[in-house]
Structures are given as C-alpha cells and as structure tokens.
Chain A
C-alpha cells in the first residue's frame, strides 16, 4: 500500500518502456503526463464535437454545456479586451479547455494530473507571455516598451524601470506557480487524508469508527477541489486575456 502522498506526482514512462527517440543524447519517453494530456485533449474534442453534432435550436443538456463554455469565454474576452480581442478567442478557449479538462481528469482516481507539473504549467505560461510580447511588438512597435515606463519624474524612473522589468518577468512564474501549486496542494491533501483512513482502519478497534472523520473530510475537500479545478482554469484564462489586452491596447495601469 503506497503511503507516500507525493507518489501520485511521479512522472514515469507508460505503455512503451523504451525511449521513443532521443534529442541531443537525452532519451525522450512516453510518460504518464503525456498520456493524460492526450486523453484531456481527446475528451475535450469529443465533448465539443459530439454535443453540438445534433445542432438543435432548443439545445440538449450537452449542447447547452458546450454553448455555455463558448459564451463564457467569449464574454470574458469581451469584458477584458473589448471586441477586437475576439481574434484571440481560439487561443484562449483552447488554453481554458486544456487546463479545465486536465484539472478535472486529475480528480478521477488513478489518473495523473498533468497541471500539477511545473514543467507543463510553465510551458503554457511561457507560451502566453511569448505570444503577448510578439503581438505587442506587432501592434505597438517600440511603443510596447512603454509598458516598462510608469508616469513618474525621470530620477524615479532609474529605480522604477528595473522594478517594472522584474515585475514583467514575474508574470510567467506567478501564472504557472499558481496553477501548479493549487493542484499539487489539493491532491497532496487528499492523499494525506486518505492515508489517515487507511492507517486508522489498519489500527482497528475504536479507530475503526474514528476513521469516518477523515473520510468525511475527504468528501468535503474533493468538493472544494472541483471548485479549485474550475477556478484555476478560469484564472489562467482571464490572466491570459489581461496580458494580451496590454499587448493590443496601450498599457494604462
């Protein structure tokens, strides 16, 4: 019986036990996180295509869910970036659904939570920031550098510009740490309480009844984790909107 609450985050090769190929001497394995990201993408694609395949005027429950998620992201973009932000809809909708389905899939027992790995979340966040920088330079040219120059007297700018640059460099870090740490903390907590139940039942006697307490807590934490899974996908998507907004419009903080 595994008692280590961190064991669930172990990245290991699945299905194929030999490396698929190697890049510069580093063997590349097909790992459980790759598998579950593929599963998440497949489930999200099936969800969207199957539910709208009937395409009825009065939507079924499934079609309502697909339409709601579409409208949710569309209104989020509208409120943060205005209507000219809608050309980023495919990007933001994809990121939102990818994070959401990975978070929810991880809540199913025996699955792996790809978003609990900083390698995954930091890659996503860097992708967002690189997109933001490219779009910013395309839209504003060198005016994009105004993002680093707050309105202040020149002698304060000597101090403020480095602070703003560091503040900008923080974005991919805080974006990725927030998602990964939330997932890591929640799943570790669930595993710790689950091991309490196992230990208490193993002890027997009166502990057999006491084991109900952590078991009830697991149910509550699980419900909270459902909320966190949705909330973190939302936060990731809305921060992407806010950052892209600064790239397409002039920054005003």
Chain B
C-alpha cells in the first residue's frame, strides 16, 4: 500500500465529520415517492387491468368462434371486462397498501 493512503483516509474522515456536523440535527429526508409518481402508478395499474381483461375476453370470443364455432360474442368480452375491472381495483388496493407501508415511519 502506498504511504499516502492513510493520509488520504484521514482527510476523508475529516471531511465526512465536517459534513456530518454541518447537517447535524436534520432529519434524513425520506421521500420514497412523489405524488405524481403515485398517481401515475395507480392509474396505470387500473387501466392496464381493464385492457388486459377486455383483451382476454375478446380472445376467448374469437377462439370460441373460430375453433369451436360457438357464437359467444359478446359474452366473453363482457364477463372478462368486468373481471378485469375487478382485478384493476384489486391491483390498486394492493399497490396503495404497499406504498403506504413504504411511507410509514420505520422503527
């Protein structure tokens, strides 16, 4: 190890101490998420679940018509759309719970 290293370390330690004193008494700012970020996250969770549900329903109807020649349209779309909306709300509740758990002050 080159002899200059302990000198470097000492100076780094002094600088860290100085920075620590300067900010002594300040609470560390815990901002895990901005309000904009939360709103965007919850919005996409809800909307994408509705779209996925409707898409799956459309696919079920299409498959039933083409492979089994059952005319289920629009039943599959309607049912899966509603299930998708339910899944979206489930996602939003889960995400909101997770965000509030993240933001709760840690012991």
The chain A residues found within 8 Å of chain B, CB to CB, are: 56-58, 159, 162-164, 166-167, 169-170, 173-174, 177-178, 181-182, 227, 231, 235, 242, 253
Known: A174-B48, A178-B41, A235-B37. A166 touches B9 (CB 8 A): no
Total contacts A-B at CB 8 Å: 63
Known: A57-B9, A231-B34, A235-B37. A164 touches B87 (CB 8 A): yes
**Chain B residues with Cβ under 8 A from A57's Cβ?**
5, 8-9
A167: contacting residue among B9, B11, B44, B49, CB under 8 A = B49
Q: Contact size class for B?
A: 20 to 34
Given contacts A166-B87, A174-B49, A178-B44, 17 further A-B contacts (CB under 8 A): A58-B9, A58-B12, A163-B83, A163-B87, A164-B87, A166-B49, A166-B52, A166-B83, A170-B45, A170-B52, A170-B91, A174-B44, A178-B40, A227-B34, A231-B37, A242-B98, A253-B94
In whole Å, how far is A129's beta carbon from the nearest beta carbon of chain B?
12
**Chain B residues with Cβ under 8 A from A235's Cβ?**
37, 41
The chain B residues found within 8 Å of chain A, CB to CB, are: 5, 8-9, 11-12, 33-34, 37, 40-41, 44-45, 47-49, 51-53, 56, 80, 83-84, 86-88, 90-91, 94, 98
Q: Which residue of A lies closest to B45 (CB)?
A: A174
Which residue of A58, A159, A167, A235 has the most chain B CB atoms within 10 A of its CB atom? A167
Main secondary structure of the interface of B (DSSP, over half): helix
Q: Is the Cβ of B83 less than 8 Å from the Cβ of A170?
A: no
Which residue of B34, B84, B87 has the most chain A CB atoms within 10 A of its CB atom? B87
**Chain A residues with Cβ under 8 A from B83's Cβ?**
159, 162-163, 166
Q: Is the Cβ of A170 less than 8 Å from the Cβ of B48?
A: yes
**Chain A residues with Cβ under 8 A from B44's Cβ?**
174, 177-178, 181
Q: Which residue of A lies closest to B15 (CB)?
A: A58
Q: Is the Cβ of A58 less than 8 Å from the Cβ of B52?
A: no
In whole Å, how far is B7's beta carbon from the nearest beta carbon of chain A?
10
Known: A57-B9, A58-B8, A167-B90. A173 touches B41 (CB 8 A): no
In whole Å, how far is B96's beta carbon from the nearest beta carbon of chain A?
13
Q: Which residue of A lies closest to B86 (CB)?
A: A163
Q: Which residue of B lies closest to A59 (CB)?
A: B12
In whole Å, how far is B64's beta carbon from the nearest beta carbon of chain A?
16
**Chain B residues with Cβ under 8 A from A164's Cβ?**
87, 90
**Chain B residues with Cβ under 8 A from A166's Cβ?**
49, 52-53, 56, 80, 83-84, 87
* Interface pairs (21), CB distance under 8 Å: A56-B8, A57-B5, A58-B11, A159-B83, A162-B83, A163-B87, A163-B90, A164-B87, A166-B56, A166-B80, A167-B87, A167-B91, A170-B45, A173-B52, A174-B48, A177-B44, A177-B48, A181-B40, A231-B34, A235-B37, A235-B41
A173 to B87, CA, bound (A): 13
**Chain A residues with Cβ under 8 A from B51's Cβ?**
173
A235 to B98, CA, bound (A): 13
In whole Å, how far is A209's beta carbon from the nearest beta carbon of chain B?
31
In whole Å, how far is A240's beta carbon from the nearest beta carbon of chain B?
15
